[in-house]
């Protein structure tokens, strides 16, 4: 329907790509979508600044002759490109995609056990090593527990050296997405 209306489909794989979801290498693969443009970044260089935008020939050719020129700031950096190649090699040789599926399943199962004892856990969602824990102050109304989420996120960092982030419209979802 998007293409029929003259639009393009963009898959933002910056956080979920590179096997993090476990079952597929790219998040869009789970949706049965073939995107026209794919963006990828953070895990690509494993801490080294590296990102990419991949597109179809049709989209790239649509820019030709339209006054849009290709440019980049750090394009072709050999260190970043070597890091990206090494990341792809490690994902494959160490079976990190399968590990993300296995460890993510373990994490969600353990969180589900916690949720049985703690009403503040309103929902657990995600796949592989991309998991969100929705905190609520009331299990019936599902009122977001923003302050509690902030406290727990800070405590995980300060006391246990576990880095998480907050997300959702009310910043009440603790996101676990290890590198």
* Whether the Cβ atoms of residue 87 and residue 46 lie closer than 8 Å to each other: yes
Q: Which residues contact 68 (CB under 8 A, 6 or more apart)?
A: none
70 and 124 housed in the same domain: no
CA distance linking residue 177 with residue 129, whole number of Å: 5
Give me the helices (H) in the chain, please: 57-63, 78-93, 96-117, 146-160
**What tens digit of pLDDT does each residue of 45-88 get?**
888 999 999 999 999 888 887 888 777 877 788 999 999 999 99
**What tens digit of pLDDT does each residue of 7-52 get?**
999 999 999 999 999 999 999 999 989 999 999 998 898 889 999 9
118 and 40 housed in the same domain: no
* Residue 68: count of CB within 10 angstroms of its CB: 9
Angle between helix axes 78-93 and 96-117 (nearest 10 degrees) is 70
> How many domains would you assign to the chain?
2
Q: What is the pLDDT of residue 72?
A: 80
β-pairing, 173-176 with 130-138? antiparallel
Burial tier of 126 (Cβ tally within 10 Å: 0-12, 13-18, 19+): buried
CA distance linking residue 108 with residue 17, whole number of Å: 19
Q: What is the pLDDT of residue 1?
A: 78
End of a domain among 34, 63, 94?
Answer: 94
Q: What is the pLDDT of residue 117?
A: 97
Enclosing domain of residue 22: 3-94
CA distance linking residue 70 with residue 47, whole number of Å: 25
What CATH number corresponds to the domain at position 70? Answer: 3.40.640.10
Instruction: With residue 137 as reference, give the H or E element that holds it.
Output: strand 130-138
pTM score: 0.83
Is residue 151 very low, low, confident or very high in pLDDT (cuts 50, 70, 90)? very high
Q: What is the pLDDT of residue 157?
A: 97
End of a domain among 63, 94, 125?
Answer: 94
CA distance linking residue 131 with residue 146, whole number of Å: 17
75 and 10 housed in the same domain: yes
End of a domain among 94, 118, 147?
Answer: 94
Mean pLDDT of 129-147: 97
Starting from the edge strand earliest in sequence, which strands make up the sheet with 10-12, in order? Answer: 10-12, 37-40, 52-55
């Amino acid at each position: 329907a998007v293409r029929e209306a003259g639009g393009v489909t963009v898959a933002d794989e910056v956080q979920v790509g590179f096997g993090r979801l476990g079952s597929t290498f790219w998040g869009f693969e789970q949706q049965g979508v073939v995107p026209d443009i794919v963006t990828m970044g953070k895990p690509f260089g494993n801490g080294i600044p590296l990102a990419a935008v991949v597109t179809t020939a049709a989209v790239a050719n649509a820019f030709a002759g339209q006054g849009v020129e290709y440019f980049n700031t750090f394009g072709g950096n050999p260190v970043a490109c070597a890091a990206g190649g090494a990341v792809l090699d490690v994902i494959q040789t160490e079976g990190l995609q399968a590990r993300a599926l296995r460890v993510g399943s373990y994490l969600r199962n353990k969180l589900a056990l916690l949720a049985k004892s703690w009403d503040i856990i309103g929902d657990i969602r995600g796949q592989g090593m991309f998991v969100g824990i929705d905190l609520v102050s009331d299990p019936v109304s599902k009122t977001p527990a923003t302050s509690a989420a902030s406290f727990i996120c800070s405590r995980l960092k300060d006391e246990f050296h576990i880095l998480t982030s907050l997300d959702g419209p009310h910043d009440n979802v603790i996101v676990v997405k290890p590198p």
